[in-house]
Amino acid sequence: MKPQPIDKNLISDLSYSLKREYVKCNRGGACTASSIIMCNTKKWHSLLSVFREQAGCQFVLLSALDDSVITNDRSFYLSTRKYPNVYFPLGHQYIDSVSLNPMPSLIYNLADTVLQKEVLLLSQQNTVMVRYKVLSAPGVVTLQVRPLLGLRYASSLIRKTGNINTGNKPIENGIMYSSTDRDPMIYMQMSKQCSFVTAPDWNYNIEYSEDRLAGLPYQEDLFMPGFFETVLNEGESVIFATSDRKGQPSQFESLFDTEVASRTNRESYQDDVNYAVKQLIRTRKGQTFIVNSLPETANIPKEVFMALPGLTLQSSEPNLFEKVVTSLSKMLGNTLMGRVSGYRLLPEAPLWFVWAVQQYFFQKGDIRLTYKQFGKDINKIIKAGIDNSLSGLVTDDSGLLARSLSTEDRYFVETNALWYNALCFAAEINEFNGEIEASATASQMAHKVKSEFTKMFVLPNMLYLPDSVSENGSVDHTCRPAQILAAALPYSVVDNNMAEKILLSLQQHLLTPRGLLNIPPQQNVSNESVYVMPEFNDFVAELYLKLRIGDEGMKMAKQMYYAHNQDDSLPSSPCFYQKFLPDAPHEGFGSPLCAASVAAVNRIKMLIDQY
C-alpha cells in the first residue's frame, strides 16, 4: 500500500517533526539530511555534504537555505531555524504536507498561493537540486533564496571569522564561491534567469537541538554570501542547484526529471530496508565498501564485518560481498590482522570476518567456492589465533582469547564465542577440501576452547553468562547482550540447556520491542548510559528460530524483523538508528542510518525465508 503524506497537524508539532529525519546518500559519498521540515537538528545535517578522502570524513558545503516567497504583496518564509530561545523563521507553519517517497517533497500553503519544494540528490554527482514549483497563484510570485554555507567538517562547528572571502564570481545563472584561496569552489546556480545580490553576512548562534540534548556542542555561525531572486508564474518551476562543479542550467530540468524517473516509490517495509542498504554502499576509485554509519568516517572493520552478510548477500548487484571484502583487504594493507594506520581495527574484527564468510557459504551453498575465495584468509586468522599473534588479543594455554586492555587481560564472552565458531568452521571447510592437518588442528583447539569456555563462563546457579572474566579471576556478572552469540552462532559454544537459559534471561532482563538493552537498568551500578542496541537483533531472531521451532519462533523472529517499523505515522522515511532510548516508545538516537542495524533487519528476512 502506497504511504500517505504526513499531515499538517503532525508537521506543526515541533516535538514530532524535529525528531523525524530524512537521509539520502549516493555511492560517491555525497549526502543530504535534515529533519522532515528542513530544520537542521544535528551539526552534520545539511543540504549537501561531500566525503573528503584525505580527511576521512564528510565536509558540509551547503548547510541550509533561507528561502522566502513574495506573493500578492505579502512575504512568507519557507525555512525554519533554531536560535537561542526562539525558532525563526517559522516556515513550517505553512507546510500542508510532507512526503519522503521517493524524495523529500513539501507542499506550502501561502494564503492564496500553493508552492511545492522538492529536494533531490543526484546519484552520480556531488550535486543537490531544490525545485520550487508554483502549483497555484493569483499572479507573479517572487522567490528569494539565501544559501547558508557550512565551510566545515561534519563533526565540527564554525564561528564568524574575518579570514574568509566575502566576494564571489559570477557564472551562468549563479555564482561560484570559495571561502579561502586554498579551498575548492562551491557552485550555486538556478535553472532560469535570475539575479544574485551580493550581500555577505553571518547568521549568528544557530542551534542544533538534538546535539544540545545529547550534551554535544550545538551552536555556530553560518556565512551567507547574498541572495538569489527570480520570478515565477502559476505552473512554472525553478531549480536551485549546489555542487562542487559548474553545471549547465539549461539541462537542470531534464537532469532532475531523469533522476526522478530512475527511482521507484517505496511501498513496503522491505522496500525501505533495501533503500537503506543502498545508502551504505560506497564506490570510489574502483573500490566498493560499506559505510559503518552516518555521517561517514573511516571504516570500523568489526561493525563492517558484522554488517557484511546482511548488506550484500541479498543484493541484486553481482558479487557485492566479494567486492567489499577485496576492497577492505586492500584498504587494510592486504591483511586482516594488525593495527593499520587510519583505521580503528577492533580485536574481534578477524573473527567477525570468519563469521561473515560462513554466512556467505550458507547463502551460496558451495563449500569449494568458499574455500577457494577465502580459505587462505581463514587459515591465516586461525593460525594467528593459535600462535598468539592476533593483534589486541592474547591466547593463553587454555586456548581462550583475552583482550589486552591497558590495565589487564580480560576474557569476553563475545570474543571466545566467535573464536570457537571460527575454529569449527575452519575445521569444516578444511576437511571438505582435503586439508586434513589444518582441519585437525582447528578441531582440536575448538574442543579445548569449548571445555575451557564452559569452566570459565558457565557458572553454577547462574541463568546467564557473565560478560567477562579478568586474568585474576574477577567476574563481571552483568547480564549483557553479547552473550547471545554463545548460543546463536552456527557453532554454539554452549549446549541447548544453557542456550535456553540465555534466551529466557535476555527476555527477562534485556529484550525490548526494538532490541536488546546494553545493560539491565537494575544492574546499572556504575550509572552508565542505558540504551537499546539493535545490532544483535538478527541473533535474537536466529536463537528463537533454533529453540522455538514452529509458529512461536517464527512469530518472535518477525517481531524482531519489524523492530524499526514502529512509527506508522511516518511514511517511508527509512531510518535505522544506531541506538534507541530504553523506555517506550523507544525513540531512536545516534546515527539514523547504521550498517549493523540495517544488516540485522535484512539478515532476519534471510533467516525467515530459510526457515
Q: Which three cell numbers stand for residue 605?
A: 528476512
Inter-CA distances, 94 with 90, 109, 143, 201, 315, Å: 8, 5, 16, 26, 41
Question: Which burial class, exposed, middle or buried, applies to 187 when counting CB atoms under 10 A from its CB (0-12, 13-18, 19+)?
Answer: buried
What one-letter code names the amino acid at 602? N
- Interval 193-219 mean pLDDT: 97
Query: Per-residue confidence at 569, pLDDT binned at 50, 70, 90?
Result: very low
Q: Which of 562, 556, 503, 567 is nearest to 534 (CA)?
A: 562
Please give the Cα distance from 433 to 202 (Å, whole number): 67
Examine the pLDDT at 571 and tell me if it is beyond 60.
no
Residues 344-380 as b/e (b if ≥16 CB within 10 A, e otherwise) read ebbbbbbbbbbbbbbbbbebeeeeeebbebbbebbbe
Q: What is the pLDDT of residue 345?
A: 65
pLDDT digits (tens, 9 = 90+) for 426-453: 999 999 999 999 999 999 999 999 999 9
Average pLDDT of span 523-542:
92
Q: Which CATH class is domain 6-261?
A: mainly beta
Distance CA 48, CA 33 (A): 8
Q: What's the pLDDT score for residue 130?
A: 98
For the chain, what is the mean pLDDT?
92
| Angle ∠(292,297,299) on CA atoms, nearest 5 | 50
* Beta-carbon-side half-sphere exposure of residue 430 (alpha carbons within 13 Å): 21
Residue with cell 598468539: 388
Q: What's the mean pLDDT in 316-342?
A: 72
DSSP β-bridge partners for residue 76: 69
pLDDT (0 to 100) of residue 567: 59
Residue ranges of domains in the chain:
6-261
Range from 3-17, 20-34, 382-396, 435-449 carrying the lowest mean pLDDT: 3-17
C-alpha 107/C-alpha 314 separation (Å) is: 36
pTM tops 0.95, yes or no: no
Cell (9 digits) for 451: 571445555
Strand partners, 98: 6, 106
CA pair distance 177, 187, nearest whole angstrom: 7
pLDDT digits 0-9 by tens, 84-133: 999 999 999 999 999 998 899 999 999 999 999 999 999 999 999 999 99
pLDDT of residue 71: 95
Q: Which pLDDT value is given to residue 10?
A: 86
